[in-house]
Amino acid sequence: MILGVDEAGRGPVLGPLVVAGVAVESDVALRHMNVRDSKKLSPEKREALAPEIEKCATWDLLVISAEEIDMMRAEMSLNDFEAKLFAQLIERLHPETAYVDAADVDEIEFKRCVQRELRFAVEVVSQHNADELFPVVSAASILAKVRRDREMRVIEEEIGDTIGSGYSSDPDTIAFLEKWIKKKGTLPPHTRTSWDTARRLLAESRIRKLDEFGGRS
């Protein structure tokens, strides 16, 4: 059995990290579906492909909240944390070979990090852009992205405001964070408080308040 492992939501300041594993005896069915890196597919195409992937594969997901990410970041690097999560899915799905999208600039080092977390021998193929090279990783990338998008919609409904994609490059996300901080003086739920963007926005808000206070005196 071969397994592909990939994540969605490594970089955002808001929302969870989702790691998916897709295991198959043969990737022929995935090739026929023309699965590709989820970033190169429209949301509609990802949503259409996800149930087809789930039907023809054994799969599993890990949804890691912003709070959990902050806790683990206090103990280890994001790369080490990701290697640990990838290893969890490899152990659950028990393939002969696992293809993983390398999180580290050094593909071999990331492979070693994953293997150190495993309690049994697995051939690990660690490559950059694995989601473009191996259909099982493309499929994992699609399942991870679809689930993360759903998680973000749940958060948006819970908060009752537009939150955007959660990425620091998204103007909607930054506008939401700034508005929440201005109103409440704290970061909203589901924010990765250890992220530079979150700390910067909070610090800027406090500086503005001090300036306003100084201006009134």
Looking at the structure, tell me whether residues 20 and 52 fall in a common domain: yes
Looking at the structure, tell me whether residues 31 and 116 fall in a common domain: yes
Q: How many CB atoms lie within 10 A of CB 84?
A: 16
118-134 pLDDT per residue, tens: 999 999 999 999 999 99
pLDDT at 39: 84
In terms of Cβ atoms closer than 10 Å to its own Cβ (0-12, 13-18, 19+), residue 121 is exposed
pTM of the model: 0.92
Looking at the structure, tell me whether residues 120 and 186 fall in a common domain: no
Looking at the structure, tell me whether residues 183 and 105 fall in a common domain: no
Residue 113 belongs to a domain with what CATH number? 3.30.420.10
Per DSSP, the chain holds a count of helices (H) and strands (E) of: 9, 5
Looking at the structure, tell me whether residues 48 and 105 fall in a common domain: yes
Domain stop point among 137, 156, 175: 156
29-54 pLDDT per residue, tens: 999 998 987 788 899 999 999 999 99
Looking at the structure, tell me whether residues 168 and 100 fall in a common domain: no
